[in-house]
Structures are given as C-alpha cells and as structure tokens.
A = this chain, B = another copy of it.
C-alpha cells in the first residue's frame, strides 16, 4: 500500500479552516470539531516570539483551534505574551471555545506592537468563512504567507490515516526550522507523548535539513493537531508524517527567496548519521556552493571545502555526482576530477541534485535548499 496524495489540505475529517489577507496583514484560523491532542516543535533561538510560551503551556491541554497572524512577529515587544493570549480570547469569543484550548502563532517583522484592533477585525471576518472544503485550507495557507510566492499545502493518506499540512517560509531558513510556520492536522489516534516523539523525528529529517540562508528566526513553530478518529499504529503514522514534512520542506526550498533553482543534496557513505547530516547541511548552507549553482558553474572544490569545514573525510575516496533532468555525471570519482562539460549542461535545469559519496560508511542524509541569486538580496534589502 502506498501513500497517496489527497485533496483536502488541512481540512481533513472534522477540521475547518479559513484565512484572509488585507494589505500586509493576514489572519488564518484552523478549527476542529473536538479538542485535539497536540504536539509542537519551536525555534531554538534564545529570543522567542511571544506566542511560543503561550503555545507551550496549551499544547498539554489539547487544542481545538489555532489562530495565526502574518505581517507582525509579535516578538521583542513589551506585553507580547498578553497580546498573544488576547488573540486566543478573541477567537474564543467568536467560536465559543475555551481560549485555553486555542493555540496562536505570528510571523512578520520583529519589534512592533500587534495592532489588536486590526487583528480582531480580521478574526471576525475569518470566523464567518470557516470551511471544511479544500478552499478553506487554501485560504488559510494564503493568509500566512509573507515573502512566500507560492501557497504551500499538502495532504496525504496511508492505510486510512490522513495528514494535512500548510506552511509558510521562504527566507530566514536555517537548519533549525527558522521563519517557518507549519500546521498539521491528522485523524491518527495516538497519545500526545507518542505524537510529540513522532513529530520531533519527522522534523529532524525534514525541516532541520532545510536551509535557505542560514538565518534563524525567533518564531518558528510546527504544531500538529490530532482528532484521533482513526486507530493506527505509530510506525505507520511516522512513515506518513515523515513523508509529509519532507514534501513540505521541498515546497519551502522551491520557494526560497530569490531562488532560481531547487537544490537537493544527498550525502552518502558517511561513518555516522550525524556526519551525514552535518555534511549535507554544510553543502546546502554554503553561499559559494549556492552562487556557483546560480551561475551554473560545476565548481566542486567549493562542495569539498564546505564538507571539510564541518567533518573529517577522505577526499581520495570521495565521489561527487551532479544530476538533473538532463542526466547525471560524476565531477569527482574517488578523488579524481572528471570532465565538466556534461556537468555544466546538467546545471542548466531548475531542479539539481548533488550526490556526494564519502565511501567510508553506511549512513546517509538528504538536505534541501536553493541557489543564491541577486533577487534574494533585493527582497531582503527592502523588507520591513
């Protein structure tokens, strides 16, 4: 039995959603018909958006709804936590839900006070639009976008287990989440502790191996809500959730700020899983690798330098293969430089895969990202 794509977004059985955007400011709502088990993963930045301590407390209570605003991060402002709680109370009044079962998230500029009047107005409008159709999920996904150019929504089914997800994120993407908000809904009937462990493992091999620019945000949040309608085993759920978050990581990489090319890096043959992850991240994080890919320049020396800056390996054993729709070719084989003509042609495509085999062990990791273009700088020089 295979994982199949379904057309619900986060509006799987029992979940409704809606979103609205007016100018720079957006609000999205995700609502369940019952209180859900909830799990979450948050930024490791020591400076955290005000919504994070609020969510941390409430995850334990279970969540029936989540409210998200875009355009303002509600971070580094006095009274931010109170404002985050106030957002939940507004939703509670509109939907007649106990605010202690409502989660909250913010994304946007740091250091500005939330405009609660504006947000209340948007919450009222959104509450009237809640829908259990895929369009409801889509409008929520659209409302949380900031510099994103593409709406990010997925939904999959496996053995009757369903998972829907929406996310945002285009820049400030470091190997630890980073300006990424992700909301997942599921029907999987599993306890909170089990959901939390499965979510952490899924994040580790997806969003934590995703790099746009190496900057880490104060607001990153991944929240999973489960209405427990479908009995299931945890292995099946892990399999489906890991697939879902990997697909979402790719959507974010493809929409990287200013990206002209999507980049997948596979590091194979490492001595340990940790070496494999660290090496793959080093490649995908390197500005010089990213600019070389932008320039369609098969400068493998930069790949080697990036790996070597983080882990020990034997260059004489190393293979580097470049791959795209145009085919594949080794640029380095057991430490020997190969002809680069075909490589240059391969790099002309939009989706590029770099496979590095250290030929020194059995472990591997895959990381995702994009090239670095002048457009990235334009976007970020002016953003405010």
Set of chain B residues within 8 Å of A374, measured between Cβ atoms: 374, 377-378
Does chain B have a CB within 8 A of A159? Answer: no
C-alpha gap A287/B75 in the complex (Å): 20
Does chain B have a CB within 8 A of A116? Answer: no
Set of chain B residues within 8 Å of A312, measured between Cβ atoms: 46
Chain A residues touching B, range? 35 or more
Q: Are A304 and B376 in contact (CB under 8 A)?
A: no
Q: Is the interface of A mostly helix, strand, loop or mixed?
A: loop
Does chain B have a CB within 8 A of A291? Answer: yes
> A98-115 toward B: CB 8 Å interface, digit per residue (1/0)?
000000000001111000
Does chain B have a CB within 8 A of A2? Answer: no
Known: A299-B384, A301-B75, A378-B374. A213 touches B288 (CB 8 A): yes
* CB interface residues, A 298-333, toward B, < 8 Å: 299-302, 304-309, 311-313, 315, 332
Q: Which of A85-93, A214-222, A361-369 lines the interface with chain B?
A: A214-222
Does chain B have a CB within 8 A of A372? Answer: yes
Q: Are B46 and A313 in contact (CB under 8 A)?
A: yes
C-alpha gap A213/B377 in the complex (Å): 13
List the 7 shortest-distance A-B pairs measured between CB atoms, nearest first: A110-B301, A295-B381, A374-B374, A47-B308, A216-B309, A291-B380, A45-B308
